[in-house]
Amino acid sequence: MIRSLVLTLTAALVTILTLSVLLLQFPSLPKAHAVVADTTINNSIKMTKQQSFVDSSGRLNVIGVVDNNGKIPISVTVSLNTVYKSGSSRTLIDSTFGNIIYPFTGAPFKFVIEPNQQSVKGMAFISSVKQIPVPYYNVIRLNYSNMPAAASSSKAMVGTAKNIGPFDLHDVSVYASAHDRNGIQIDSVKSNVMHLIKPGQEARFIALPDSTTAPHIFYYSCAGMSLGNDPMTTLDIGKGQSILYDIRGVVRISDFKYSADNDSIIFAAKHYNPDGGPIALKLVKNSGNPAAVSVMMDGKMYNSNNSALSVKMLDPKTVHIDLFVPSGDHSLQIKGIRNAA
């Protein structure tokens, strides 16, 4: 209840402040600098206003957020031009804190400039964008507060991450943007790496800001997760057996699991394209017969005569399924998993 109230109040605060903070600089942050940028790529990938600060080690930090307002997940590289005292130049290149930025989300970035070595030339900019047609798996439940930890002077963002999916999660980290009471981003933070979270397990995380910005942090936003899992994932189907699967498509997937009662892979899917779109599912097994595999959507058999559905064997071990998911939320059931093995 308390967390829900805090989140509600924070959301209201952000809404009220958004219209008034765009032209403000760091009024309360010592040694702060403003680096204004508003870069848009293809009208859908936008870099928010940048800010900078000098950290506790005397290094200049340039921070910001890249927003994905498009329909396809992306991987973004951000660059910053610098100049050495000798006059030579160097371009710093780094990825955003989120290895994949899904549609309608954002990921922060941070450049750290060593003191007395380099100076910043211009503003950070988006140097490359790569489309990543992989689904978003809703397999982690985060429990945290947007407000910094009150019991510690570090003003960290603390919480837990629970694996609610059917497979192991590797190298999980949580990131966020830190804001002052005027709504201005004053730091970008990333948590410790949780190297392994097994299904049903819960792990604690902490994302520490710099000690210079900590006293001024009022709330965190843009919280997201970065996963180290490979696209191909192993799914336990019971009795000591498992299959490899791979899903390609710009969809949000929830409640992905195997049901032994009806020998099916079951999951909920929503395509990021408002008009719907295709997805492809690949299953790797010891052997198989595509005739044994059938597809149901929303409790009804997906018409095998529909040109949007294709079930075929790529080789003696691999079943490949292509289908079209209409707009909105849908439940999918891939039947005949064991029987096709």
SS3 22: coil
Q: Each residue of 9-39: pLDDT tens digit? A: 343 333 333 323 222 232 333 333 444 343 5
Average pLDDT over residues 90-101: 94
Residue 68: phi, psi to the nearest 5? -105, 105
Q: CATH: 2.30.40.10, 3.40.50.2000, 2.60.40.3230, 3.20.20.80. Which one for 31-131?
A: 2.60.40.3230
- Going by the DSSP 8-state scheme, the letter that residue 299 receives in this structure is T
Number of CB atoms found within 10 A of residue 289's CB? 12
Residue 291: phi, psi to the nearest 5? -65, -20
Domain spanning 136-226: CATH 1.10.10:
no
Residue entry with tokens 């130049």: 89
Helices (H), 47-86: none
d(CA 133, CA 249): 5
- Token readout for 278 is 């295709």
Q: Each residue of 55-88: pLDDT tens digit? A: 999 999 999 999 999 989 999 999 999 998 888 9
- Token readout for 158 is 């603390």
- Going by the DSSP 8-state scheme, the letter that residue 101 receives in this structure is B
Q: Are 332 and 297 in contact (CB under 8 A)?
A: yes
Q: Each residue of 245-269: pLDDT tens digit? A: 889 999 999 999 999 898 899 999 9
Positions of CATH 2.60.40.3230 in the chain: 31-131
- Mean pLDDT across the chain, nearest whole number? 83
What length is written for the chain? 341
* φ/ψ bin of 298: left (φ > 0), alpha (ψ from -120 to 50), beta (otherwise): left
d(CA 139, CA 228): 13
Q: Are strands 89-95 and 60-68 parallel, antiparallel or unpaired?
A: unpaired
Look up the CATH number of domain 233-335: 2.60.220
Q: Each residue of 107-133: pLDDT tens digit? A: 999 999 988 778 899 999 999 999 988
| Beta-bridge partners for 50 | 35
Residue entry with tokens 């990021």: 272
Least confident of 106-115, 179-188, 197-206, 305-314: 305-314
* φ/ψ bin of 73: left (φ > 0), alpha (ψ from -120 to 50), beta (otherwise): beta
Residue entry with tokens 């991987």: 75
Residue entry with tokens 């410790």: 192
Q: Are 48 and 35 in contact (CB under 8 A)?
A: no
Apex 23 CA angle, 21 and 24, nearest 5: 65
